[in-house]
Amino acid sequence: MNDLRKPFTLAVSIILASHTALAVELEETVVVADRVDTAIESLAVSVNVMDRELISALGSATLPQLLRSQVGISTTQTGGIGAVSGIRVRGQDAFRTRVLIDGIDISDPSSPQVAPRMEHILASSLERVEILRGTQGLLWGADAGGVIALTSRRGNDRPSIDVSAERGGYGFEAESIVANSGAMAFGEITAVLNQVGMDGYNALKSDTQLADNDGYDNDSYQLSYTTPELGGWSATLSARQVDAAADYDSCGRFDENFSFISSNDCSDGYKNETQGIVLGHRGNGNSTRLSVSESDSDRAYFTDGIFQFALKGSNEQLSLTHNRALNDNMDVTVGIDLDTQSYDDGFGTARSRDNDGMFMNVRRASETVTLSAAVRSDDNEDFGRYTSWRLTALTDTGLEGVAFKAAYGTGFRAPSPYEVGSNQSPFALPEARDTALKEEQSQGWEMGLRGNQNDVSWELTYFDQEVSDAIIYSYNPALFAGGYIQVPGTSEFSGIEASVAWPVSDDVTLEGFVTDLSAENAAGSKLPYRPETTAQVTARFRGANIHWLLLARYVGDRSDGFGTTLNEYTVMDGSFSYAVTDDLSVSMRAENLTNKAYSDIVGYRSAGRTLYLGLNVSI
């Protein structure tokens, strides 16, 4: 590795969702909030959790499809699976959200604003998803969008092989193999292979000449080895690779006369390789985690089958975290992060930058009150030192089963190497070349109530977030030039998240959520593709051999930022699985059951009713 020194218009009576969205049977602890295992009932911040059972029941092919089922998250997509996706947590763009797989930051420094390529993360490769919403993710170095922490598939305690296959509409094909050695004397080995392919459909409405289908292919592999525990110490080595290719519409190229030619015959290839080693120790009242990792991304773009350009990005990371119980009621977590981000734009511009971070979180819990205070100091090679902090409180209200929660946090995002380098390009807008970008700063708070009465759990949260001096991309089609500019002032994001989960019986659970969001830029104009209202209601049955899920998702009106408003829509999805034997099960699912015609992006159509059949064999 190189030198590594250096994310109330609704009435209170609308409590229709769970802060865990569809997940009712939560695992006891989460890591995403405090970087160490923390009991979820003791957290004052807002967290979503999805376990493997729920991920399987939803049946989504990629991570963006999974995330749209979660409270506080909206998505956009320019076509089918693998198409460019926008993920917004409480209205914040994806580049303000830190995305981790097994603790490895997979942000792509070669992507605009270091946005992670979440559309290429296959849901079948995931064991668990944890989402921290809002500006409380400073311990990870996150900005206003929070943190999405993903855990890769795991095996069982015994040796096992799990094989799955699915076929569906638009030429969809998916296969998955998860092989695990079980806990052996030499340790544990897990291998995961996933393949997803789709012929797709013609997503761009104006593409009436070529009118081709926009297909997608993704081959993903992962291998991990965990040593036996010795004196409380263990190590895990992991390697992961994603090799994906997607067709899309609306691109262009210059011919031999330097005349610009528009085209809908566009494709891009994406490859990501990550590898890491984690050394961990658990003692009496303390734990330590040391990780060293690297994530390398390569992207290549083609128009009319002709290569246009390629970019490379790399993230190198070293992290050390230590947690210690000071007494029965108090613990402290301290750590350091040393990150190096670099990219090469393929045109002779290569940039690299170091960021060193130190953090501490102190937490005190009593029978009725839990308090925490965290601080983080980042030293950015280009933009200097910045300190962010967070305060949280969770306390009983005196009402049976009802707790009050509150949190306040700050954050910052330094301009990415890509943004800085792009503005130095000869093709950059003049105003972008003349702009000396500085860091964005964010702050936000939330407060709410959480309750559980007669097994009905609910949560109501109000949040308010601000981003100062936002960096946006500006493009002038007349000049064929674009660049990143800084917008003085403060963008504001506020809203209400309401949620409930009701186990009607031992087998049936009803769940749902409603989110009301206001997202405005510094000029007071509504930000594009942020629906004011999103809602979801889910019915789920889990019997001895039969599982089914029925989901209805509502998305309200939203603007494209240029005067066009997309209409509200409601889409229904469903899934059914039957265990023929302990080792064999069959499944059927449907997306867009009512064949609703709708658009997530102006000018693009979404998929119609799509049916899938699946088979799973465990050995």
Q: What are the tens digits of pLDDT across the range 436-486?
A: 899 999 999 999 999 999 999 999 999 999 999 999 988 888 777 889 999
Provide the pLDDT confidence category of residue 277 given band limits of 50, 70 and 90.
Answer: very high
Q: What are the tens digits of pLDDT across the range 214-249?
A: 999 999 999 999 999 999 999 999 999 999 999 999
CA–CA gap between residue 449 and residue 456 (Å, rounded) = 14
**End-to-end alpha-carbon separation of the chain, Å?**
40
Domains of the chain: 24-618 (2.40.170.20)
Q: What are the tens digits of pLDDT across the range 480-507?
A: 788 999 999 999 999 999 999 999 999 9
Q: What are the tens digits of pLDDT across the range 37-93?
A: 999 889 999 999 999 999 999 999 999 999 999 999 999 999 889 998 889 999 998
Residue 345 is classified by DSSP as -
What pLDDT score does 442 carry? 93
CA–CA gap between residue 374 and residue 401 (Å, rounded) = 27
Backbone angles phi and psi of 58, in degrees to 5 = -70, -35
pLDDT value at 3 more than 70: no
Q: What is the mean pLDDT of residues 511-519?
A: 97
3-state secondary structure 143-174: CCCCEEEEEECCCCCCCEEEEEEEEECCCEEE
Closest CA to 345 of 266, 268, 415, 424: 424
pLDDT value at 2 more than 80: no
SS3 content of the chain, % helix, strand, coil (to 5): 5, 60, 35
CA–CA gap between residue 207 and residue 55 (Å, rounded) = 34
Q: What is the mean pLDDT of the chain?
A: 91
Say how many CA atoms lie within 13 Å of 460 toward its Cβ: 14
pLDDT value at 615 more than 60: yes
Q: What are the tens digits of pLDDT across the range 107-163?
A: 888 877 777 889 999 999 999 999 999 888 888 887 767 899 999 998 777 899 999
What pLDDT score does 602 carry? 94
Residue 138 is classified by DSSP as G
> Is the distance from CB of 280 to CB of 291 less than 8 angstroms?
no
Backbone angles phi and psi of 615, in degrees to 5 = -140, 135
pLDDT value at 524 more than 50: yes
What pLDDT score does 95 carry? 86
Backbone angles phi and psi of 94, in degrees to 5 = -60, -30
pLDDT value at 20 more than 80: no
What pLDDT score does 144 carry? 62
pLDDT value at 16 more than 60: no
Q: What are the tens digits of pLDDT across the range 371-412?
A: 999 999 999 998 899 999 999 999 999 999 999 999 999 998
What pLDDT score does 157 carry? 78
Provide the pLDDT confidence category of residue 350 given band limits of 50, 70 and 90.
Answer: confident
CA–CA gap between residue 219 and residue 122 (Å, rounded) = 9
Q: What are the tens digits of pLDDT across the range 300-331?
A: 999 999 999 999 999 999 999 999 999 999 99
